[in-house]
Amino acid sequence: MKDRIFESKENYLETILVLFNRNGEVRSVDIASEMEFSKPSVSVAMKNLRADGCINVDENGYITLTDKGKEIAERVYERHLLFTDWLISLGVPADIAAEDACRIEHDLSAESFSAIKNFIVKHDPDLG
């Protein structure tokens, strides 16, 4: 199981990706609003993500993912979408499916995710 610090990092990067895709730009205040976190908490996280080489912040406070950050964000988001859609297809209510997908997406190995994804797509190509 991954530590909670890494899971938090993945959640922030995934949120940046989602917000950028939705709005075309991302600032710390957008992240705080989306994640329902305090602005100081987000500020500390952005400092850490920048130090880790996962994001860039320009002089106007706009946040972009580096290649490293984008790779992590896209991996987590792919897992999130697949698990959410799959759970919904099994009859789980959408809000619960999204919450459960968020838990599953962080702790699964690449090998297990690949096997599950292949199984799901084989049995329901619309979910792939």
Number of Cβ within a 10 Å radius of residue 31: 22
pLDDT in tens, 14-40: 999 999 999 999 999 999 999 999 999
Q: Please report the pLDDT score of residue 79 as a whole number.
A: 94
From 103, 55, 51, 48, select the one nearest 76 (Cα to Cα): 103
Q: How confident is the model at residue 106 (pLDDT cuts 50, 70, 90)?
A: confident
Q: How confident is the model at residue 1 (pLDDT cuts 50, 70, 90)?
A: very low
Residue 54 phi, psi (nearest 5): -100, -25
pLDDT in tens, 36-86: 999 999 999 999 999 999 999 999 999 999 999 999 999 999 999 999 999
Encode 99-122: b = buried (16+ Cβ within 10 Å), e = exposed: eebbebbbeeeeeebeebbeebee
